Amino acid sequence: MDTDAELSDSWWERVKYYARLVIEGVEYGVDAVKELLSTLTIDERCGVMLEFEDAYPQKFAQLVTDAPQWTEWMA
């Protein structure tokens, strides 16, 4: 039986996995990142971007420079 803590851990592990994909996707361009994010829930997208910013601030800054409208992708 799953507990809330287990569900939370599972969710966060999934978000960290997607964050790694987004980080790799930056090398392929803004459209690759946008496409991947579009497949996620809004909560997952927000979690991914928070993890991305914390883990790789320089790559995150690159994305923000290349796509200043990235916050529109969160909706």
Contact call for residues 26 and 63 (beta carbons, < 8 A): yes
High-pLDDT (> 90) share of the chain, %: 76
Residue 74 is predicted with a pLDDT of: 85
At residue 4, does pLDDT exceed 80? no
Look at residue 2 and give its three-state secondary structure: coil
Distance CA 30, CA 51 (A): 18
Distance CA 13, CA 33 (A): 19
| DSSP per-residue codes, 34-60 | HHHHHTS-HHHHHHHHHHHHHH-HHHH
Sign of CA dihedral 40, 30, 50, 75: negative
Give the pTM. Answer: 0.82
pLDDT tens, residue by residue, 34-65: 999 999 999 999 999 999 999 999 999 999 99
